[in-house]
């Protein structure tokens, strides 16, 4: 049982020491087409985190998964019902406070696991991680295996790498593997592919999915998703955490 929230305080107590890796899933509450729930990014971050904790424990490394952060910066889905967005400073302070609290209680290694890909949101997570770079006597070191960086993006699906992956095959597949009951599969299978050239539109200064041509709050090819692809993508995401942790904290693996 790797989830902190499912433990009692006596069960949680042994995890609050210098040898534990604490994984913080970060998502958002926002529209993901007519076929995926608003908590899709939260589910993706949790799936990455839980699988990573399993892989770490298989190598003898103690890990605990914290309750997910369910809100982020969600300007791209402006105009669709269900979007809840934070201000950048709010997200920064929230993540920083989590790190400070963990550090005060003995945690020295923190990993941010992020399922929401909006650039402004990712920038804040990068900033908080960069602001906590060292593992000292009283401070936790934060690492962020950022799957939007080329190093990690190239390990994910072709659709992910194209950028046109909001509620498309990439995210639909992960949801089919991680939370199949939440997927509206009849609607998913009826959806046509939508190509919006998201990266080019971003570079041109367009900042909402409606501007970019994603009229139903999705892009990519949801109908092409599968459980098999979802499991493969979750494993790839989890491996990013394991490999980043091994690089940052090799002593925990010895």
Dist CA 202 CA 68 (whole Å): 28
User: Which residues have a Cβ under 8 Å from the Cβ of 158 and sit 6 or more positions away?
Assistant: none
pLDDT in tens, 77-124: 999 999 999 999 999 999 999 999 999 999 999 999 999 999 999 999
pTM across the whole model: 0.96
Length of the chain measured in residues = 254
Residues 144-155 have a mean pLDDT of 97
Query: Is 100 within 8 Å of 110 (Cβ atoms)?
Result: no
Q: What is the pLDDT of residue 135?
A: 61
**In the chain, what are the domains?**
4-253 (3.40.50.10310)
Q: What is the pLDDT of residue 134?
A: 66
Please determine, for residue 137, whether its predicted confidence score (pLDDT) is greater than 70. no
Q: What is the pLDDT of residue 254?
A: 78
pLDDT in tens, 64-75: 999 999 999 999
Q: What is the pLDDT of residue 139?
A: 84
Work out the percent of the chain whose per-residue pLDDT is above 70: 98
Of residues 138 and 143, more confidence is placed in 143
């Amino acid at each position: 049982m790797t989830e902190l929230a499912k433990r009692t305080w006596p069960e949680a107590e042994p995890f609050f020491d210098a040898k534990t890796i604490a994984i913080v899933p970060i998502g958002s509450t926002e529209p993901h087409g007519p076929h995926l729930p608003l908590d899709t990014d939260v589910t993706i971050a949790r799936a990455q985190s839980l699988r990573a904790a399993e892989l770490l424990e298989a190598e003898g490394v103690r890990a605990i998964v914290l309750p997910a952060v369910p809100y982020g910066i969600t300007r791209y889905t402006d105009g669709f019902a269900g979007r809840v967005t934070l201000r950048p400073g709010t997200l920064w302070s929230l993540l920083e406070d989590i790190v400070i609290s963990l550090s005060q209680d003995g945690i020295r290694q923190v990993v941010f696991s992020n399922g929401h890909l909006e650039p402004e949101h990712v920038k804040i997570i990068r900033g908080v991680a960069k602001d906590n770079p060292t593992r000292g006597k009283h401070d936790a070191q934060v690492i962020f295996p950022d799957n939007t960086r080329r190093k990690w993006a190239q390990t994910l699906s072709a659709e992910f790498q194209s950028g046109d992956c909001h509620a498309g095959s990439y995210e639909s597949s992960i949801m089919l593997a991680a939370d199949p009951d939440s997927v509206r599969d009849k609607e998913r299978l009826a959806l046509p592919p939508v190509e919006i050239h998201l990266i080019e539109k971003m570079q041109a200064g367009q900042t909402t999915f409606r501007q970019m041509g994603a009229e139903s709050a999705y892009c990519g090819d949801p109908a092409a998703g599968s459980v098999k692809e979802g499991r493969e993508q979750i494993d790839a995401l989890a491996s990013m955490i394991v490999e980043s942790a091994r690089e940052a904290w090799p002593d925990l693996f010895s």
